[in-house]
Amino acid sequence: MPAHPLARNFTITPDDIEYLTGVLLEQETPMLTEELALLLLDKRLTDEKEALEARYRGTRVYHPVAHYETGERLIFTEMDDATATVRAVRPGDNADYGTYRVIAVDFDDKTLNLAGGLREFASDFVPEHPLNQARIGHALTADGSSATSRDILHSDYKTLMITMHEALQKSGVLMRVAGYWFPRDLVMDIDVGTLHLAEAVLDMASGGPLPTRDIIEQVGGVGSAPMTLQVFSLNLAMSRDNRFDEVGPAGEVLWYLNRMEPDPVRRIPDLLQYRAITYNEDLLSDEMDDLETELDDELTDIDFEGTLKKATSTLLYPHRRAGTLPLNAKTRTIFPTGRTPRIHVALVDATDGEHFPGWVVHEHKYVYGLEPYYAKHRLPVGARLSVEKGERPGQIILSYEGYKPRTEYIKIFIPGDQIQFENRRRAIGAAYDELLIFGVDDLAALDTMVKAHQKQSMVALLRLLLAELGRLSPQGTVHVVTLYSVMNVFRRCPPGPVFALLRANPEFEDVGDHYWKLSQ
């Protein structure tokens, strides 16, 4: 949808700021940037309508058949609804048309007048004429449409919101807390004692999260002002105190104690730490590019436009071990956004409704808090997990394709002095990607082995993995997705570097269909 004219020409004047400040003072209610933008657009539409009504008040639509007198105001529909005043009237002088009159008009837009002055038009003109059927054009409806303020806002949402935010911020008379604006002069002073009480309330609530109103009620109020002003003022004071963390999704303010947040929420788990790997992207074939998009690793730069009701992600070893879910191109469309680095959510098990506390860490592209869910359903590396929005904001429904556990052969990591794998039978009760799946019986031993291989290059690791995994296949080949999956045991990396290293080194041979082996 093209930007509406009011959106294309959207600017904010000091008078606009004064108007918005007046509304906030009158209602005594803080408002979001979007709400203020809608108020301003409503005012623009009202002002424009009133200006048009004033312009056309007391006017008549020009029809050649009609009778006009000096001083009357006319609208000319065939000239973009231009307005003019009748300055003179004389008899017509063309006998072929019978008796009629000629009016001389002075257009408000002087560029429409003739070089020598006024323009003349027929009146009392009885013969048929197309203009006798004319009706007033679109000008009286402003832009010719019935667009609402919300329609106008969403015709160029990003630009309008940036313009609004910058103007409100520069105004000096308004201040913003947790996304809401309010006049600076009306904000209440919150003393240190009240903040100590707020900390105690959150402490008793296991850290949170709690909405501001609940905190105010439990501390006995913060003054006699309306509750909306108390909430805004306490939000401001808590946002300036590093004991508190605002963790609510967009449109909701929730508070949590910093010191009681899980460590993996405030610091990236070691298993998810990615040290950028430089590689030549031109080495990737078109098929590899497609596969990289299909894998949808959160570390891969993939653009996804649109909305999804449900998104599915396949668990890599680092996420399964850390109890996290990747925020990749698709899953991040499901999880709520917010104003702060961390957002608290409720993770809900679709099988029985059990709730787990979760944390969305958009900055580092993961959701923490899924370990109890993974353990409960014994989900393996490679399992497919689906997420969808719940009925309430900040609620996420977790599901997977489960079935009665059946025994299947999968690759099992055998930690030791050297990297080893064996095909062994394991009971599995969840749908999985057979190229990504593998098992580990002794995690402590695996950690020791990973530590011993920390200094090895990725090329050296690929050589070892191809040799050992190839031993499980009669052809000695390994699928590139399997190499990517197992490489993430030793080093967190997206598929791109793995693919590029395989293509760049002659000791690795492409045998087709994304299978590779060591060159002879």
pLDDT digits (tens, 9 = 90+) for 311-340: 999 999 999 999 999 999 999 999 988 778
Residue 250 has pLDDT above 80, yes or no: no
Nearest in space to 518 (alpha carbons), one of 469, 484, 455, 482: 469
Q: How many residues does the chain have?
A: 520
Is the distance from CB of 105 to CB of 86 less than 8 angstroms? yes
pTM: 0.75
pLDDT of residue 144: 46
Question: What is the reported pLDDT for 143?
Answer: 44
Beginning with the edge strand found earlier in the chain, give each strand of the sheet holding 402-413 in spatial order: 421-430, 402-413, 439-440
Using CA atoms, how far apart are residues 349 and 379, in angstroms rounded to an integer?
13
Give, in order, the Cα–Cα distances in Å from 337 to each of 297, 362, 398, 506: 20, 8, 18, 45
Go through 274-306 and write b for each residue having 16 or more CB atoms within 10 A of its CB, e for each that does not. beebebeeeebeeebeebbeebbbbbeebeeee
Contact at 8 Å (CB) between 495 and 297?
yes
- CA separation, residue 330 to residues 127, 316, 333 (Å): 68, 16, 6
Supply the pLDDT for residue 103.
Answer: 94
27-31 own/partner pairs: CB under 8 Å, 24+ apart: 28/186, 28/226, 28/228, 28/229, 29/228, 30/177, 30/180, 30/181, 30/182, 30/228, 30/229, 30/231, 30/232, 31/180, 31/181, 31/182
At residue 113, what is the residue type?
Answer: N
Which range, of 37-51, 130-144, 481-495, averages the lowest pLDDT? 130-144
Please state, in angstroms and rounded to a whole number, the distance separating the CA atoms of residues 233 and 50: 38
Instruction: Report strand pairing: 384-389 vs 82-91.
Output: unpaired
Range name among 124-133, 209-218, 394-403, 485-494 with the lowest pLDDT average: 124-133
DSSP-derived secondary structure letter, 432? B
Question: Residue 461 burial by CB count (10 A; 0-12/13-18/19+): exposed, middle or buried?
Answer: buried
Would you say residue 263 has pLDDT above 60? yes
pLDDT digits (tens, 9 = 90+) for 41-57: 888 888 888 887 787 88
Asked whether residue 488 carries a pLDDT value surpassing 60, the answer given is yes
Q: How far apart are CA 280 and CA 4, in angstroms?
A: 44
Tokens of 62: 């020009």
Which domains, from first to last, does the chain contain?
5-53+145-174 (no CATH), 63-133 (2.30.30), 187-261 (1.10.10), 290-403 (2.40.330.10), 405-518 (no CATH)
Res. 225 pLDDT band, cuts 50 70 90: confident
Distances from the Cα of 314 to the Cαs of 377, 385, 465, 485, 516, in angstroms?
15, 6, 21, 11, 22
d(CA 393, CA 248): 9
Sorted by sequence, the CB contacts under 8 Å of residue 439 that are 6+ apart come out as: 380, 381, 410, 411, 412, 413, 424, 426
Cα separation, 20 vs 123, in Å, equals 49
Long-range CB contacts (within 8 A, 24+) of 56-59 = 56/83, 56/136, 56/139, 56/140, 59/83
